[in-house]
A and B are shown apart, each in its own frame.
Chain A
Amino acid sequence: MTSKQNRVLFFPYFIWIGLFVLIPIGLLVYQSFIGIDGAFTFDNILTYFTSATYLIMTLQSFIYAFIITLITFCISYPTAYFLTQTKRKDLWMLLLILPTWINVLLKAYAFIGLLSQDGSINGFFDWIGIGRQQLLFTNASFLLVATYIEIPFMLLPIYNAIEEIDSTLLHASRDLGASSWDTFKTVVFPLSLSGVRSGIQVVFIPSLSLFMLTRLIGGNRVVTLGTAIEQHFLVTQNWGMGSTIGIVLILLMIIIMLLTSGRKKEARKQ
């Protein structure tokens, strides 16, 4: 194919990026400089970085997102690894991906049913004699549901990365006398890092702003940056402040991207 044809094929993609990525980000940046009275101002950014509320909220969101990413990673990596060893990979994969076909809101409501005072989990606790516990509206339940929702997004890239590893490398490692643990440590894990990186990127960023779960499962006792954005756009109608927080999220995302891709280069040098 000639380069001219290539350009024609790229055209729809450029329009898409322009209309739905670049222009909205431009508008967001523009809005973040507009005060509630409609005049140009730096106040929004100043407020964000001088107000303890927003800084603590950012820190909290970061910690929650970090924990969610960590737990999903700890569950997904072994799962992905053992999946590649199984016979009916496609079937297992399908079963693990299936939950993503269901709307997040429905899943959240299903969890409300499970975790509530009359829910099945409390029914079980009651039956084994622990007695009913407050499960809904706790940090633990928020982390549980968020992790559950994010797991497929971590699992897929890791699975693909491990699956792509050339099996001759594993045989070579074996032939040269490495134990299975050594093989895993020095061959499989480093080669699957690209999948881990994309998994982290895909899970960490959305976890910073899970506003719907914070309300439904966390009962607004768990507050993330998403909660603040929602409130500024829908209640206060202070779009400027909402956009500012949005911009901060985008910057955080860029930082995460830079951090994870930086390691990639090092790995290549080695």
Chain B
Amino acid sequence: MKKLIQLAAMILGITSILYISSLYVDRSEGSASSDTLNIFNWGDYIDPDLLDQFEEETGYRVVYETFDSNEAMYTKVQQGGTAYDLAIPSEYMIDRMIQEELVLPLDHSKIEGLEHIDPAFLDLAFDPDNQYSIPYFWGTLGIVYNDKMIDGEEIKSWSDLWKSKYREDIMLIDGAREIIGIGLQTKGYSLNSKNDEELTEAFELLKGLAPNVKALVADEIKMYMIQEEASIAVTFSGEAADMMWENESLHYILPEEGSNLWFDNMVIPKTAQNKEAAYAFINFMLDPEVAAQNADYIGYSTPNQDAMALLPEETVNDVQFYPTDEMMKNLEVYENIGFEYLGKYNDLFLEFKMLRRD
């Protein structure tokens, strides 16, 4: 019995020491926050050299954390207990975070270099007048094919995916809005449709696509396409750029019917402890040379028009990554469709996953 009490006392002693030291560590981090910047970004989404350069130029110390989905990022910011000074979510999530007051309005007098950004990427519906967010990268959803197995002339639009000869050849990104969106756009409807009949029609159409689907996966698509496990994939433009870097037989196309256009913008979440550092980082990233280096490294499309002049010509002239104005007309941005319809999209997607191949 005595031993038991001793043991219990020891455990309590150790945990209290740990607790007190964790408080101490927290505080020391807090007090140091005048010279640290906590960034919360997607994985593999910045040139690490730029972080070093930023630290050298400004004297701030960068603490860098990554997330793999907008929803995961949202939950961490919403639950609090974190001290992110800067985050980079996508447009529909920014819309939601503005509505729920999870992001802070920007003081535009502290932002320099916004004039480098192409006006086409400013003042968009999800954030009028860029009160809350500054463009970081943008991109599209499209089709990647391997020219060893597929004739590029035969695949130009979403509807080509339905061809019976591509049986079990296609890998799709595991996202409800992306896949239901393919059905909607092939039918000529909006990606943000809140019309039950249109959704049903899109789903009926997608049923015919099921036999051609090899798998619905997420990040693994990159690995599988590079290894030539599948000949066609539906994925995001930046992922495609990465694959094409590794495997020269791969090509990316924007479907003729149009596609999804997305933006990842920098925001200052309400958890921010060091806004000055966040502004310094925003200004740093707006610099054309920095933006160009980052775009060259990551492969996504930069909204910075002055940076485009610094990029290799073959990059900026590639209409699949920097589409012409004509092509841009067919691209549509996701809107925050609300819980009810998000649920409906997901239920349909779950049903799609359950369809048998034969």
Contact = CB atoms under 8 A, between A and B. Distances in A.
B216 interface: yes
Interface size class of B (residues with CB under 8 A): 20 to 34
B14 interface: no
A223 B350 CA distance: 8
B228 A117 contact: yes
Contacts of A5: 1
Contacts of B246: none
Contacts of A236: 339, 342-343, 346
Interface string B173-185: 0101000000000
B213 interface: yes
B340 interface: yes
A216 interface: yes
Contacts of A223: 350, 353-354
B339 A220 contact: no
Interface string B287-308: 0000000000000000000000
Contacts of B354: 53, 56-57, 60, 223
B52 interface: no
B350 A227 contact: yes
A215 interface: yes
Interface residues of A, number: 34
Interface string A203-239: 0000000000001101111010001100110111110
B215 A235 contact: no
Nearest to A47: B347
Contacts of B160: none
A189 B215 CA distance: 42
A216 B357 CA distance: 18
Nearest to B70: A235
15 contacts: A8-B1, A8-B4, A9-B4, A36-B339, A53-B350, A53-B351, A57-B350, A117-B227, A118-B227, A136-B229, A137-B215, A216-B220, A221-B216, A228-B350, A235-B346
Interface of B: 1, 4, 69, 71-72, 168, 171, 174, 176, 213-218, 220, 224, 227-229, 339-340, 342-343, 346-347, 349-351, 353-354, 357
